[in-house]
Amino acid sequence: MKVSLIQMNSVSDKAANISVARKLVEQAIAEERPDWICLPECFDFMGGNREAKLAAAEPFPGGPAYAAMQELARTHAVYIHAGSVLEKVDSEDRMHNTTVVFDRSGTEIARYRKIHMFDITAPDGTQYRESAAFAPGDAVVTYACEDMIVGCSICYDIRFPNLYQALVEKGAEMIALPAAFTMQTGKDHWEVLCRARAIETQAYLCAPAQTGFHVVGGETRQTYGHSLVADPWGHVTAKASDGVGIVSTRIDKDRVRKVRTQIPVAQHKVRLDRA
């Protein structure tokens, strides 16, 4: 199975972001002919203040980002793992950070809402409080893509190995990680964490990322980029350069089987109960 990852520099202009995403998906289809395409976290809107984000959030189905990716999947008969989109929630004044996945017919086959909220203080003192605008999800989500089982995660989720073990327990052989890592955390942690999760799960880790600058409440912030694919042994088999673009590689289900046979960690797990 051939996969393509889309690396974007989304900003606080939803229409422009969707237009760029459409062009990059169409470019990937024309040049790479992939079976599966994955976009980065919040490909539809990055930056702005809380009110701008809430205004940009859309209902599922029917919103412009949802509709654009659904139409591309149907028109080109390709699986699209639509990174994440700001999903409107009618019942409260927060939104969800949500992945939606379409099969070759444009049918929605999975929906995952980011579980772990990025509430941290960066080394330079910058504070991130994702929970102020986003409500967390609570479901572990996988879906079938051809003969592969794909697990869903988003960005900060990567720091929580228990989620990835839960995905493997549900059959995941490939895990998607649309992300928008900060420059400060990304340069030190991004590749290490991606490779670690791939090694621990003995699954492919496909991580399309945001790159470049965006403005949040008058403050300019930078994302790290470096979209990559790590194989079940932890080797990085594809990696994007700096800037907006596409990176592609092939996923081999037999590689997953081979690694899991060589080191059968699933058979060696021991339940550790604390007194």
Residues 228-259 have pLDDT tens digits of 999 999 999 999 999 999 999 999 999 999 99
- Determine the Cα–Cα distance for residues 24 and 111; give it in Å rounded to an integer: 22
Give a yes or no: residue 196 inside a domain: yes
Residue 109 structure tokens: 């086959």
Residue among 250, 266, 24, 35 nearest 144 (CA): 35
CATH code at 203? Answer: 3.60.110.10
Residue 1, classified by CB atoms within 10 Å of its CB into exposed (0-12), middle (13-18) or buried (19+), is: middle
DSSP bridge partners of 207: 228
Confidence of residue 26 (pLDDT cuts 50, 70, 90): very high
At 271, the pLDDT band (50, 70, 90 cuts) reads confident
Whether 272 is in a domain gets the answer no
Catalytic, out of 42, 58, 87, 114: 114
Assess whether pLDDT exceeds 70 at residue 274: no
Give dist(CA 116, CA 243) in Å, integer.
27
What is the pLDDT at residue 213? 95
Would you say residue 247 lies in a domain?
Answer: yes
Q: What is the value of pTM for the model shown?
A: 0.96
**Active-site entry in 38, 42, 155, 194:** 155
Which of 14, 38, 41, 42 is an active site residue? 41
133 within some domain: yes
Q: Are 6 and 179 in contact (CB under 8 A)?
A: no
Assigned domain for 10 exists: yes
Q: Is residue 73 part of a domain?
A: yes
Helical (H) or strand (E) element with 261: helix 253-262
Q: Is 239 among the residues known to form the active site?
A: no
More confident residue, 275 or 255: 255
Contact 25/6 with Cβ under 8 angstroms? yes
Q: Which residues contact 127 (CB under 8 A, 6 or more apart)?
A: 120, 121
For 83, the domain range is: 2-266
Q: Is the pLDDT of residue 260 over 60?
A: yes
For residue 193, being part of any structural domain is answered with yes
Question: pLDDT tens digits for 216-232?
Answer: 888 899 999 999 999 99
Mean pLDDT of the chain: 95
Instruction: Identify which of 157, 206, 155, 188 has the alpha carbon closest to the alpha carbon of residue 43.
Output: 155
- pLDDT per residue as tens digits for the range 123-179: 888 888 899 899 999 999 999 999 999 999 999 999 999 999 999 999 999 999 999
Total domains in the fold of the chain: 1
Lowest mean pLDDT among 19-23, 95-99, 155-159, 217-221: 217-221
Q: What is the mean pLDDT of residues 255-271?
A: 94
Instruction: State yes or no: pLDDT of 116 exceeds 90.
Output: yes
- In the residue annotation, 145 being an active-site residue is answered as no
Assess if residue 271 is contained within a domain.
no
